[in-house]
Each structure stands twice: as structure tokens, then as C-alpha cells.
Amino acid sequence: MDHGRVLLGTDVGQICENVASALAPHQMELRGRTLPEKAAMSRLRVGDLDLVKLRYGSDVAIWPEPSNEFLLLQFVLSGRVEVEHEGTLTVGNEGQGLIIEALDHRHLRLSADCEQLIIPVRRSTISRAIEVLTGRPAPARYGFDQSFDLGQPSGASLLCLARYLLLCPPGIASSGSPIGTLAADLLANHLILAHRGAGSLEPKSAAAPYPVVRAEKYMRENYALPISINDLASHAGVSPRTLSSAFRRFRGVSPMERLRELRLEQVRASLSDGSAVTVAHAAAMAGFPHAGRFSEIYRQHFGESPNVTLAKARTN
């Protein structure tokens, strides 16, 4: 990985400034007599996702400034990393991965031969994924495994995803690429499902999460009005992409397809109970302005034309 490679030099202040531009502000202290002559950093940005390869070249101690914006996913390529937090020491040796949920009063120690590949993942991305998977608000602490083996399937698959991003052609791996967003979502879901040792964040039942429920409630109350995916997402409190993912997972259709289903059900109810004067009137009142196109959609959905439904109601 030579993308954006920077030789960090030997000045501690300059090293901290360069690393902070890619990761987080921090203080650093040399633990040995060796100056960090081989300190180097490489940075690849894919969309809004960064991959940072970092080597200090000396035994160092790191004190990051407290921050809850990112989770750090660290692959230890060589050497040793120690993370101390609230009296607990987590060690990552070569061939292992570390998950730092937040930079809240953590103390890191890195060996002189340590080299890492670090991927910061926005906590908002993880929280959003948890809400979609469980239908519940994300907890303040995710409870991820603090360390894992890159040789095991759950760790090896993460490493494969990182390698995929590193090997992407320049046209794909660009700052404006959607691949980064997709990869961040995949990373978040993988961490939730495969790297939470105590308990599970998977949904406890097949009940739809609250963004789906809220969107459907809005559909039922406003089906006669023009409704866009952005309207639904805004009312549900999530992004259009997140809402679409939740609907496909729990309803098997997109939000707009679900809206059409609810509108069709409303028309059928109006035609069947005799409250509709004409098919065109019932369609228009349910948000279908074009009667001709509506009749074909209705027939495909219910197996009969709306006129047949209305005729049956009048006969009865």
C-alpha cells in the first residue's frame, strides 16, 4: 500500500500532526532511545472511508484525545500493540485485530517493529446498522470483541474486505466513490453480527424495526398525497438508503413498492364496501392519478380488474 505515502520524519510533534490528519489528535512519547527514523504512513481514501497503514519505527506510547466520532478497526501486520482502558489491558500481536470502540481515555503502547492497517468507521454508521437489524436504538457501548484472530473466518473475512479496497482500481477507489459507503455498511454489519462476544445484536423477533413501522404509519395516514422516498425517510428519521435496506429485509420490497401495496389495499377496500362511486374516484383518492395504468396494476396484484371488484360489491 503506497497510496499517499508520507515519511513522517523524526520530530515527534510533526509525526503527531501528520497522523492526526488521518486518524485523531493525540500525544506521543518515545519509550526507547531509538528515534522514529523509519516512521511512515500511507493513506487511501475510498469514498468517505479511510485505510491508514502506519509504522512509527520506535517504541512509542500514545494518548489519543477523547472522541466518540469513530470506531477504530486495527489489523496488526507486525509487532505488538497494547491498549489500556479503565484498568484493562488488551494486547494485539502480529496476525491479530483490535477493535477500539471509542477514543475515551485510552493509552496505547506500540513496539518498534509494529506496523498496522487502521480503518476508522463512523459510530453513526454502526448505530444506524444496529437500529436496522434490531429495531431498537443503538446502545452507548456496542460490546464488540476487543481483539480477534485474523486467521479465523470472522477476522479473515474482514481482512479480505480491506484487501479488496486496497486493490481497487483508481477509478473505483476515489474520494467520491460509493464503494466506500457500501464497504462501511458491510464493515458495520459484520462487526455487529460476528464480533460481539457477549450477547447478540440480532433481532429477537421478526417484528419490523421502528423506521419501517413509522414509515408505514405515515403511508396509511397520507396515501392520497404525493409521497417520495425522501418524505418517508425524513418521517422515519433515517436515510433513504437505510430505510430501503430495512424494508427489503423485513418486508421483501422497497418502501415505494410497499406504498403501492397499501394504496392498492385501500382501493380494494373502498370498492368492496361500496363506498367508492367509481373506480377512477377510488383510485384518485388512494393516490393513483392515472386510472388506465392503475387498472393494470390492480389486475396484476389481485387477479381481477377493479371494475369486477366493484361489480361484485354492488351485486352483494
pLDDT tens, residue by residue, 142-185:
889 999 999 999 999 999 999 999 888 877 766 667 888 888 99
| Together in a domain, 153 and 245 | no
131, part of any domain: yes
| Together in a domain, 83 and 222 | no
| Together in a domain, 75 and 176 | yes
Residue 141 in grid coordinates: 457501548
| Together in a domain, 49 and 151 | yes
Q: How many residues does the chain have?
A: 316
Residue 257, pLDDT > 90, answer yes
| Together in a domain, 223 and 290 | no
* pLDDT for the residue numbered 104: 83
What string of DSSP letters covers 196-244? --SS--S-SSSPPPHHHHHHHHHHHHHTTS---HHHHHHHHTS-HHHHH
| Together in a domain, 229 and 262 | no
Burial grade of 20 (CB within 10 A; 0-12, 13-18, 19 or more): middle
Residues above pLDDT 90, as percent of the chain: 38
Residue 199, pLDDT > 50, answer no
| Together in a domain, 231 and 187 | no
What gap in Å lies between CA 230 and CA 21, rounded to an integer?
34
How does pLDDT run across 27-45, given as a tens digit for each residue?
988 887 666 667 889 998 8
pLDDT-derived band at 62, boundaries 50, 70, 90: very high
Burial grade of 133 (CB within 10 A; 0-12, 13-18, 19 or more): buried
* pLDDT for the residue numbered 74: 97
> Smallest Cα–Cα separation from 148: which of 99, 187, 202?
99
| Together in a domain, 35 and 161 | yes
| Together in a domain, 30 and 115 | yes
Region 232-256 average pLDDT: 90
Residue 24, pLDDT > 90, answer no
How does pLDDT run across 279-292, given as a tens digit for each residue?
898 899 899 987 77
* pLDDT for the residue numbered 68: 84
Range in 4-13, 86-95, 149-158, 201-210 the model is least confident about = 201-210
204, part of any domain: no
* pLDDT for the residue numbered 204: 47
Domain ranges, residue 279: 257-315
Region 187-207 average pLDDT: 71
| Together in a domain, 32 and 144 | yes
* Residue 201 vs residue 56, higher pLDDT: 56
117, part of any domain: yes
Is residue 9 a contact partner of residue 35, using CB atoms and an 8 Å limit?
no
| Together in a domain, 32 and 120 | yes
Domain count, the chain: 3
CATH number of residue 68's parent domain: 2.60.120.10
228, part of any domain: yes
Edge to edge, the sheet with strand 60-64 lists: 26-30, 60-64, 107-110, 80-85, 88-93
Is residue 265 a contact partner of residue 257, using CB atoms and an 8 Å limit?
no
200, part of any domain: no
Long-range contacts of 192-197 (CB under 8 A, 24+ apart): 192/126, 192/129, 192/130, 192/133, 192/142, 193/133, 194/154, 194/157, 195/99, 195/144, 195/145, 195/148, 195/154, 196/142, 196/143, 196/144, 196/145, 197/143, 197/144, 197/145
* pLDDT for the residue numbered 316: 66
Region 101-129 average pLDDT: 91
Region 78-91 average pLDDT: 94
Q: How high does pLDDT run on average in the chain?
A: 86
| Together in a domain, 94 and 78 | yes
Range in 173-182, 195-204, 259-268 the model is least confident about = 195-204
199, part of any domain: no
* pLDDT for the residue numbered 179: 85
CATH number of residue 277's parent domain: 1.10.10.60
* pLDDT for the residue numbered 313: 78
286, part of any domain: yes
